[in-house]
């Protein structure tokens, strides 16, 4: 066992658990390490915004760090962490080589959030109005992302589908991948069917799939659904709505852009049905987990429900065809018996697939085992060592050139 346990998290952004599933995910990872006795420092190059969590409440040290600056090297050498967690592959690209050079014995963990190459490939297919094919995956983004996964000692995955894709399409060893979904449990008190009204969608608008989903709701789904249920409202919530989102506000059609929700659970638990016709994306969808927690059935797409429910029935309907999506939404909205059954399905999914107790011990054990046998683990991943060598050789000198240029 380690005498001292020190973790450095390098964040893509400061955690905003009330704004995004990614923020909730980060706070859950922090809680796991705190429970195992780690002293944690959270470093980030982004601006600390007003909705970011105050990490000092948890005893976590926050550190503003700079890109392309040797000040990070001095900082990380002094900290000398046992474990470094990179928040998404872009962060590992920037700081991974610096960590390897300054703290070669630190365990490097990549939290993928979702596979960016998969999300981007699906987005391209939607943009070109065609079906996604696996050939779409082999992009420059994929080369960068897979290289980052190979350079790290282990990558945390939220989707079993993406684990299989990495193994089958990109031949990534299962020893480099660890399944750790978002944790969730149902709320203690949820309103009954007859205590709820309207449809809801909620999502951070800085996330491109959310914007596309709301646009699709506005242009395709809601015009049909409004004809079928003229009294029902479509309530759209989300952090950071751009002007193009606000322009979709159409009160006369009962389509309302509400902006940021102060309490996402309160918004979702009041609604009768969550609508999420997600056309592209990856990972597992925090908004659909929130729906289950609130006992709110949902209608979503195949991509929306991907890797989320295993062999358990969905807590609503999964439909890609727009007409079928609308018909399912009306049925779920009007049929109380069906609605109650779907609610129970959601509770079962949470209990059997997202309960924290199913994963926390296995995760801590995985970290400890890797720390105890890190040299052998890395020897088994020689391709990762090659990629690390070449990244250090190329990126190191480019970064130092940028640093010198910035000084002038």
> Mind listing the pLDDT tens digit for each residue in 324-333?
999 999 999 9
E-strand spans in 290-398? 298-300, 316-318
Domain range summary for the chain, segments of one domain joined by +: 6-182+357-407, 193-354
Q: Which segments of the chain have a pLDDT < 70?
A: 1-3, 49-50, 390-408
- Which stretches within 52-153 are classed as H helix? 71-79, 89-102, 116-127, 140-151
The fold of 193-354 is Rossmann fold (3.40.50)
DSSP H or E segment with residue 374? helix 374-379
- Which stretches within 152-263 are classed as H helix? 160-169, 208-216, 222-228, 243-246
Instruction: Say what the pLDDT of residue 22 is.
Output: 86
Angstrom distance (rounded) from CA 326 to CA 177: 38
Instruction: Say what the pLDDT of residue 110 is.
Output: 98
Angstrom distance (rounded) from CA 360 to CA 180: 9
Same fold, 6-182+357-407 and 193-354: yes
Q: Class of 6-182+357-407 per CATH?
A: alpha beta
Angstrom distance (rounded) from CA 147 to CA 225: 45
Instruction: Say what the pLDDT of residue 235 is.
Output: 98
> Are 320 and 301 within 8 A, CB to CB?
yes
Q: Report the 10 Å Cβ neighbour count for 114.
A: 20
Instruction: Say what the pLDDT of residue 298 is.
Output: 98
3-state secondary structure of 62: strand
Name the pTM for this structure: 0.93
Angstrom distance (rounded) from CA 87 to CA 109: 9
């Amino acid at each position: 066992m380690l005498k001292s346990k020190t973790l450095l998290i390098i964040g893509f952004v400061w955690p905003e658990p009330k704004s995004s599933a990614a923020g909730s995910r980060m706070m859950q990872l922090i809680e796991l390490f705190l429970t195992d006795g780690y002293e944690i420092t959270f470093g980030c190059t982004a601006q600390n915004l007003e909705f970011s969590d105050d990490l000092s409440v948890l005893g976590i040290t926050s550190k503003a760090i700079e890109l392309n600056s040797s000040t990070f090297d001095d900082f990380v050498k002094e900290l000398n962490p046992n474990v470094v967690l990179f928040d998404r592959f872009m962060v590992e690209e920037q700081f991974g080589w610096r960590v390897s050079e300054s703290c070669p014995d630190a365990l490097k963990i990549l939290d993928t959030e979702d596979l960016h190459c998969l999300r981007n490939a699906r987005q391209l297919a939607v943009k070109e109005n065609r079906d996604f094919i696996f050939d779409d995956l082999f992009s420059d983004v994929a080369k960068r992302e897979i290289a980052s996964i190979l350079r790290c000692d282990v990558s945390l995955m939220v989707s079993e589908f993406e684990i299989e894709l990495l193994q089958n399409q990109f031949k990534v060893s299962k020893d480099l991948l660890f399944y750790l979904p978002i944790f969730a449990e149902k709320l203690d008190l949820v309103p009954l069917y007859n205590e709820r009204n309207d449809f809801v969608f909620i999502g951070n608008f800085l996330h491109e799939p959310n914007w596309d989903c709301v646009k699709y709701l506005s242009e395709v789904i809601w015009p049909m659904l409004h004809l079928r249920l003229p009294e029902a409202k479509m309530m759209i919530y989300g952090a950071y709505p751009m002007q193009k989102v606000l322009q979709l506000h159409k009160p006369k059609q009962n389509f309302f852009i509400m902006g940021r929700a102060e309490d996402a659970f309160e918004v979702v638990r009041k609604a009768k049905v969550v609508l999420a016709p997600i056309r592209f994306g990856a990972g597992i969808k925090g908004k659909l987990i929130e729906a289950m927690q609130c006992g709110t059935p949902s209608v979503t797409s195949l991509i929306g429900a991907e890797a989320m429910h295993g062999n358990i029935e969905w807590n609503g309907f999964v439909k890609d065809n727009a007409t079928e999506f609308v018909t399912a939404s009306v049925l779920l909205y009007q049929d109380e018996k069906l609605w109650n059954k779907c609610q129970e399905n959601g509770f079962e999914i949470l209990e059997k697939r997202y309960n924290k107790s199913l994963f926390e011990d296995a995760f801590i054990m995985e970290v400890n085992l890797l720390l105890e046998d890190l040299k052998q683990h890395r020897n088994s991943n020689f391709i990762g060592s090659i990629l690390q060598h070449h990244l250090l050789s190329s990126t190191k000198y480019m970064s130092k050139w940028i640093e010198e240029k910035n000084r002038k």
